[in-house]
Structure 1
Amino acid sequence: MARDIVIWPNKVLTTPTQPVTDFGDKLTTLLDDMFESLKEAEGIGIAANQVGVPLRCSWVGREDGTFFEIINPRILEQSGEVTLEEGCLSVPDQFAKTPRFHKVKVKYQDRSGAWHELEAEGKLAHVLQHEIGHLDGHVFVELLPQLKRTLILEKMQKLQKALKRRKNQGE
């Protein structure tokens, strides 16, 4: 079941997530719900804290349109600076050229707890850094110049108020 996506600057998005230690049914349900939320929002990645759950797991989209889960990920290596257009489900309708690394090597677990290593470059490396950033308590907006960040913050605060009003009217 799709869950609501949290809007920045909600505290759950700016707090580092906790490692996943239970690879049972609750994790499976969370990952399935996150995937439904991701597909509904037409995103390329989603982290658990974006649906309000402070656990270290995420979905990452490949350029071919397929997705995979990363649990307890760590970036082992990164190289070659690059700037690409970036957006975020928690910062809707806001896009900006964002500095990242062109290549990364990541270690992560899958839903069964098995460890994997992945070397990625280009767009996939960018998405991995974005999602792992979420799990570390960061949003891409933090990488932008102060003025751009402030303008986006004001828009998100207005959006949060509008969503709250809509929710209160619906109850």
Structure 2
Amino acid sequence: MARDIVIWPHKVLTSPTKPVTDFGPSLQTLLEEMAESMKEAEGIGIAANQVGVSLRVALVGREDGTSFEIVNPQILERKENVTLEEGCLSVPREWEKCPRFHRVKVRYQDRTGEWHEVEAEGRLAHVLQHEIDHLDGHVFVDHLSGLKRTLILDKMKKLQKTKARQKDS
């Protein structure tokens, strides 16, 4: 069952997540719910804190439409600055140019706790950085100018109020 996507600046999105230590059934359920939420929202990645769970877990979309799970990820290397158009499920309908790296090397665990490393470039590197930023308590708007961030913040606060009113009705 899909979980609701949390809208920025909710506190769960602005605080670093906790490492996963239990690779049991609750993690498996969370990963399935995150996959449903990502599919329903038509996203290319999602972090656990975007569905209100402060754990270091994310799904990362590949160019072929498939995705893979990263648990307790760490970026080991970053190479070649690049600026890319970026959006976010937690900052709906907002797209801005964001500084990233063209190539990254990431170490992470899978759903069983086994460690892996991936070297990525282009779109996959972009999605990895975006999702790991979430797990570190950052959203892409943190990389923008103060003015752009404030304008988007005002829109998101209005959206949060609208959603809260809809829930109450």
TM-score (normalizing by structure 2): 0.99
The total of aligned residue pairs comes to 169
1-side partners of 2:147 and 2:65: how far apart? Answer: 34
User: Aligned residue for 1:58?
Assistant: 58
> What displacement does 1:105 show?
0.2
C-alpha displacement at 1:121, in angstroms? 0.5
Task: Measure the CA separation in 2 of the matches of 1:123 and 1:40.
Answer: 21
1:48-69 residue CA offsets vs partner (Å, 9 max, x unmatched): 0000000000000011111000
Paired with 2:108 and 2:66, the residues of 1 have a C-alpha distance of 18
3-state SS of 1:3 partner: coil
Aligned position for 1:110:
110
Q: In structure 1, what is the equivalent of residue 165 of structure 2?
A: 165
Q: Which whole-Å deviations, capped at 9, do the CAs of 1:50-105 have from their partners, x for residues lacking one? A: 00000000000011111000000000000100011100000000001110011000
User: Partner letter of residue 134 of structure 2?
Assistant: H
Distance in 2 separating the partners of 1:113 and 1:164: 37
Q: Which residue does 2:153 correspond to in 1? A: 153
**Using the alignment, how far apart are the partners of 2:63 and 2:147 within structure 1?**
31
Partner of 1:99: 99
Distance 1:119 1:146 in 2: 32
Q: What's 1:3 paired with?
A: 3
Instruction: Name the SS for the 2:95 alignment partner.
Output: strand
How far apart are 1:147 and its partner, in Å?
A: 1.0
> d(CA) in 2 for partners of 1:64 and 1:47?
20
Match of 1:134 in 2: 134
Distance between the aligned counterparts of 1:8 and 1:153, measured in 2? 8
SS, match of residue 9 in structure 2: coil
TM-score normalised to structure 1 length: 0.98
CA root-mean-square deviation: 0.4
Q: Give % identity.
A: 73
